[in-house]
Amino acid sequence: MRDAPSLRADADALAAPLPPLMADAEHLASTMLLGDHGRRRSGMGEEFWQYRPAMPNDEARLIDWRRSARSDTHFIREKEWQAAQTILIWVDGAQSMEFASKGRQTKADRARTLAMAVAILLLRGGERVGLTGADVPPRRGEVQLLRLAAGLLSIGGGSTDYGAPEITGMLSKSRALFISDFMGPLEPLEAALTAAADRGVRGALLQILDPEEEAFPYDGRTVFESMGGRLQHETLQAGALRDRYLQRLAERKDRLAELARITGWQVDCHHTGESAQAALMWLFGALEKVR
């Protein structure tokens, strides 16, 4: 378990190389809060958009005199319409996320780091980021980072074997990010996704797996236990189960992809053996995409 400053430092380091993440603010009306998101049209904002000739109904104070002085007509300086997006992140805090094969990070650690990195990017982009399940409502600003970090750290060490996503407090038309191993029963996820889709929430599912879960390199007589010890399965030839296990895992991934496809979410699988950067890149793409 790590303390908040180090978590933030890690996440800062991870987030540093990427440009501010521009989340898709598709439905401006539902949130209507100004952010740093250019809407590619003129409107309220801080960034310069274009000069246009002044119309008779324009207020005189809107005229840009510096530009107008260079020609005979009057110009008005328009700014880009900017809007902020609300993004809710859910990180699975169940015990199954505490698994780590030898010499690797636990899945929970990786999930927190990624969530924090995404949060940093989003906050820098002017978005409002919050956590579901840890009661951190979406807000803007640097201070929110500290709240998010504290919230993420409070999530860990859940009492259940497998977690279920929470969608409480999710604003309609906002965006969401679920990070979990999705090893538990899929019904709660299905329900959550359906409910989210009903509210017009789109987002991304990031499945984090340990390489051992992907390879199943076990042999011989073995008793497999869930991290909390509630589930048990004994086998005499673990090696013989490998193929069927992998098949089930593949089925599960297919199922996730299917759910995502139906609800308009995006899904990716990330392994703790790989670089977190790759996952962050994907998250960047998934949350930035304008549809």
Partner 1 sequence: MLTIGPLGFTAPFLLLALIALPILWFLLRAVPPAPIRRRFPGVALLLGLSDDETQSDKTPWWLLLLRILAVAAVIVGLAGPVLNPRSEAAGSGPLLVLADGTWADARDWARRLDRIEVAVTEAGRAGRPVAVVVATDLPEGSLPFQAADAWLPRLGALSPNPWQPDDTLAGWAAAQDGDFDTIWLSDGIDRAGRDDVLAALEARGSVSVLESGRSVFGLRPARFEDGLIRMTALRAQPGTEALVTVTARGLDPAGIERELARIQTEFLPSETEIEIDLTLPPELRNRITRFELSGIRSAAAVSLTDDALRRREIALIAGRDDREGLELLSPLHYLEKALVPNADLIDGSLLDILQANPDVIVFADVARVTDEETAALTEWLEGGGLLLRFAGPRLASSDISRDLEDPLMPVRLRIGGRSVGGAMSWGAPKALRAFAEGSPFFGLPVPEDVTVSAQVLAQPDPDLADRAIASLADGTPLVTRKPVGSGQIVLFHVTANAEWSSLPLSGLFVSMLERLAVSSRTAQPDAAELEGTVWEASEVLDAFGALGDAERLRGLPGERLAEGVPAADMPPGLYAGADRRLALNVIGAEDTLAPAVWPERVSLSGMDVREETRFKGAFLTAALLILIADLIASLWLSGKLRPRGRAMAGLVAAALAFGAAPETWAQTEDEFALAATSEVALAYIVTGNERVDEVTRAGLEGLSRVLYQRTSIEPSEPIAVNLEMDEISFFPFLYWAVTPDQPIPSDLAYAKLNRYLRTGGMILFDTRDADTARFGSSSPNGRMLRQLARPLDVPPLEPIPDDHVLTRTFYLIQDFPGRHVSPDVWVEAAPPDAEQVDGMPFRNLNDGVTPVVIGGNDWAAAWAVDRRGAPVYPVGRGFAGDRQREIAYRFGVNLIMHVLTGNYKSDQVHVPALLDRLGQ
Q: Name which position in 42, 105, 160, 235 contacts partner 1 (CB under 8 A).
A: 235
Of 64-72, 80-88, 137-145, 182-190, the window that binds partner 1 (rule: CB under 8 A) is 182-190
How many residues sit in the footprint of partner 1 (CB under 8 A)? Answer: 37
Closer residue to partner 1, CB minimum distance, 31 or 180: 180
Please name every residue paired with 38 in a beta bridge, in sequence order, or none if there are none. 82
Report the sign of the C-alpha dihedral through residues 273, 158, 121, 175, in that order.
positive
Of 76-84, 166-174, 228-236, 282-290, the window that binds partner 1 (rule: CB under 8 A) is 228-236
User: Which pair of structure tokens corresponds to residue 277?
Assistant: 């950067």
User: Which pair of structure tokens corresponds to residue 5?
Assistant: 């400053």
x-marked contacts with partner 1 along 22-61 as a string, rule CB under 8 A: ----------------------------------------
x-marked contacts with partner 1 along 186-215 as a string, rule CB under 8 A: ------------------------x-xx--
Q: Which residues of 206-240 are buried (b: 16+ CB within 10 A; e: fewer)?
A: bbbbbebbeebeeeeeeeeebbeeeeeeeeeebee
Q: Name which position in 34, 63, 150, 227 contacts partner 1 (CB under 8 A).
A: 227
Closer residue to partner 1, CB minimum distance, 85 or 180: 180
Residue 135 interacting with partner 1 (CB under 8 A) = no
Of 67-75, 108-116, 237-245, 277-285, the window that binds partner 1 (rule: CB under 8 A) is 237-245
* Residues 6 or more apart in contact with residue 65 via CB below 8 angstroms: none
x-marked contacts with partner 1 along 67-106 as a string, rule CB under 8 A: -----------------------------xx-x-------
User: Which pair of structure tokens corresponds to residue 126?
Assistant: 């002017």
Q: Output the smallest distance, CB 133 to partner 1, in A.
A: 19
Q: Output the smallest distance, CB 18 to partner 1, in A.
A: 30
Residue 249 interacting with partner 1 (CB under 8 A) = yes
Of 118-126, 197-205, 239-247, 257-265, the window that binds partner 1 (rule: CB under 8 A) is 239-247
Residue 157 interacting with partner 1 (CB under 8 A) = no
Q: Output the smallest distance, CB 95 to partner 1, in A.
A: 8
Residues in contact with partner 1 by CB under 8 A are 96-97, 99, 161-162, 181, 183-185, 210, 212-213, 216, 218-227, 231-237, 240-241, 244-245, 248-249, 252
